A and B are shown apart, each in its own frame.
Chain A
Amino acid sequence: MQGKISISDALYPHLLSQIPDPPENLFFKGKLSKEIFSNCLAIVGSRKMTSYGSRVVESLVSSLAGSAITVVSGFMYGVDASAHRAALKYGVSTIAVLPCGVDKIYPQMHRELYCEIQKSNALISEFEMGFYPTKWSFAKRNRVIAGICKAVLVIEAGVQSGALITAYWANKFKRQVYAIPGDIFSEQSVGTNQLIISGAKAVVTVSELSSLFGIKLQQNKSKYKTFSSGEVDRVYKLIQSGRVSVDELSRSALINAKSLVSIITELELSGAIKSSGGYLYAN
């Protein structure tokens, strides 16, 4: 389904109509309802997400499952797309705010995501159908994201990330800005750490969002698993203590390469750990 809602319609998001220059019309594709706009949380961040960012998104959004919160993001690659994907995966409502007409798929590589979202969620835009994305429309789009949300959560942001523009608008519209604290040496956490210094609330678990939305949220606890074999257990404990490369692990666990890799597969298949970019993480 596609169509247009104007500022006078009942469906028009109430919060958005309060900002200084709300868009006259919102074009949409997918399914819109009053509820989907009532508890919006923007999850935005860098296009060049690191594995840290992807873990944070996955863990936070999975904890939102079953709540009435809608994840709003900008459909860009990186944090945006993975927020949408995680929302779809855990049955959380999601809205994609596009910097172009809603009939345009931008970026093209997200065609599949586009189709998924329009099945039971919505893509919206203040731009007319057929409008191509331009430099300024991204910044303007961020204004809408901040406008319809109660809070903006920045997962990862570099020095010049567009997510910081969203945070700027959120601040202006008196929305709560949250940021995920990150590694002080990581390029993709410079922006978020800076946000925290200048007053954004740091989020470590999803429960920090509870009071704002008036919903009790609880972080999915990572369950400590035990394994039958002592060796497997030892490897698991080492991975739990922080990011580690397979090579480092082989050295610190004093296990030869070939046995270690089959232990890693066993842990992966049991869902206890995850590997990304040559490094291992505990779930």
Chain B
Amino acid sequence: MLTKLESISYIGIDCVAVDVEVNVSNYGLPSFDIVGLPNKEINESRQRVKTALQNCGIQFPNKKITVNLAPADLPKQGSFYDLSIAAGIISEVYKLAIPQSAVFFGELSLDGTLRHTRGSFPLALYAKENNYKFIFLPAACSLEVKNVPNVNFIFLNSLHDFISFLKYQKKISINYAHSSAKRSSTIDMSSIAGQSIAKRCLEVSAAGGHSLLMYGPPGAGKTLLASAYATILPTLTESQMVEVAKIYSLYGDQNSEIFSGQAPFRNPHHTVSFSGMLGGGNLPHPGEITFAHHGVLFLDEICEFSSNVLNCLRQPLESGFIQIARNQRMVKFPSKFILFAATNPCPCGYYGHPTKKCVCTLSQIQRYVKRLSGPILDRIDLFLNVTSIEFSELVHNNFKAETSLQIQKRVEVARAVQQKRLLAYKLNCNSEITPDLLKKLCPLTQITSNILEKAYTKYSLSTRGITRIIKIARTIADLELSANIEQSHIAEALQYRNNPTIVG
């Protein structure tokens, strides 16, 4: 007898419908086969399903069982077909009808319980879009999908729950564990002594989504500032969270911070490969830039990264997505992120240091700095020279440092102002303003354009440099809730320009 069930398959982070046809036949030798381009884990599903059913006390039919995953020409992967296959067999064994408009998803354990399975969030969205009436999935996935409203989830702890649902329409109740929105193991801004300019620069960066390059000697506090940066990022908006959660649910670690609206903060090591950074693989898997979507990609020691890998960032930085073409398929992953980089000024780190000795030759220094190509530097808005703080500053700090929460509040207010202004243009923050919109969105008064003109000649800025300054000034104005860009905003923005004597 043939049972038809519905499940899905993933292409990139999108779902497509897959029919799971389970045929239990009285004719032929007893066997259990899966067809329809299954990969290794789907083939192994036979062992899991068979053992799980037996361990649940369900008589596994000693018949010829054929499972077809349709469409047959689409390569499939993932362990989540276990539930649909098992459901097909259970319906055959107990002669229970499978409800109409139901989608099945979940990996089985050998004892018949359902394990947490990757990809429940995109599935939930897909089911909602396509108005499925029943969504069967593991109870362990409940936390991930709890923010998807108006969907009839049937959470299952084990195959027993499934059978009792079929028999008595009984649903188990889920107790959502309380998830706090707090990021684990981070450093609060208030615990960093001095560095007032650096902190201010980070605030501007977070508020306007501006990319940032920090340079300075080792031990000046660059990495420390970076970890504190994560704490002042604005919370994701609803739509941003959906995009990010899709990626993390399917490919990431089960990171509850992401599902509670925290912006991702990725910190790849400098030995990262092309495909590690951009995504890749036979069946394409996203890379670091996609995991940093709507968040931050922090490249510590950016000059140590392979310059090829760095140059590959140019296109995604511009377009906000990455298209990966492989033999089997082409996949598009979103990758809108704030590039946040840190570097030493030279291999030993002390070039330009007022007291410490730099042991690099000049050609070494040039080679080191040149790894940051012009086009990459061109895409960086803010340049920040981090100097090591004096001992006296560590000890006698008169200023009461602000906490991350205080800064984050200002950042979020400034973001809200931007989002209101940019809504009509489908943009999210000031850094995304295109040159053609600049005049309209960031008008300058006579006084401000005068100071900009003065700076243009004094610092020999490029036209792109001017555009950058205006956008940064707009963010600074937004932080102060000022409707117009004032002279002081331009003046502050000018301090974050690239000082070509150091880099580039």
Contacts and interface: CB of A to CB of B under 8 A. Distances in A.
A78 to B, nearest CB: 7
Contact of B387 (A51, A109, A247): A247
B169 to A, nearest CB: 62
Interface string B372-397: 00000000000001110110010001
B458 interface: yes
Contacts of B329: none
Contacts of A259: 488
Interface string A237-253: 00000010111101100
Given A248-B393, A261-B495, A269 B455 contact: yes
B146 interface: no
A244 B441 CA distance: 37
Interface in A137-191: 185-187
A159 B399 CA distance: 42
Nearest to B363: A107
Interface in A213-241: none
B194 A268 contact: no
A257 B199 contact: yes
A247 B389 contact: yes
Contact of B366 (A109, A250, A254, A265): A109
B488 A257 contact: no
Most-contacted residue by chain B among A256, A268, A278 (CB, 10 A)? A278
A184 B329 CA distance: 65
Interface string A100-119: 00000000010000000000
B200 interface: yes
Contacts of B454: 269
Interface stretch (B43-51, B349-357, B415-423): B349-357
Nearest to A49: B362
A275 B455 contact: no
B501 interface: yes
Contacts of A276: 499, 501
Interface size range of chain A in the complex: 35 or more
Given A269-B454, A278-B216, A278-B385, A246 B352 contact: no
B387 A279 contact: yes
A258 B458 CA distance: 22
B446 interface: no
B184 interface: no
A59 interface: no
Nearest to B358: A48
A247 B354 contact: no
B16 interface: no
B502 interface: yes
A4 interface: no
Interface majority SS (helix, strand, loop, mixed), chain A? helix
Contacts of A245: 387
Interface string B197-222: 11110000000000000001000000
Nearest to A266: B491
A261 B200 contact: yes
A236 B501 CA distance: 23
A50 interface: yes
A209 interface: no
Nearest to B488: A262
Contacts of B362: 47-48, 77-78
B494 interface: yes
B328 interface: no
A262 B200 contact: no
A200 to B, nearest CB: 23
A260 interface: yes
Contacts of A130: none
A246 B499 CA distance: 14
A277 interface: yes
A247 B200 contact: no
A272 interface: no
A51 B352 contact: yes
A258 B492 contact: yes
A254 to B, nearest CB: 7
Given A247-B393, A277-B502, A256 B358 contact: no
A265 B197 contact: no
A278 B389 CA distance: 12
B393 A269 contact: no
- Among all A-B residue pairs, the 7 with the closest Cβ atoms: A262-B491, A278-B385, A265-B491, A257-B196, A257-B200, A261-B495, A277-B352
Given A248-B393, A251-B393, A257-B197, 11 more contacts: A48-B351, A109-B366, A246-B197, A247-B387, A250-B196, A251-B196, A257-B199, A258-B200, A265-B490, A269-B455, A279-B387
22 contacts: A77-B362, A245-B387, A247-B196, A247-B393, A251-B194, A251-B393, A251-B399, A257-B199, A258-B492, A259-B488, A261-B492, A261-B495, A262-B487, A263-B491, A269-B451, A269-B458, A276-B499, A277-B502, A278-B385, A278-B386, A279-B354, A279-B387
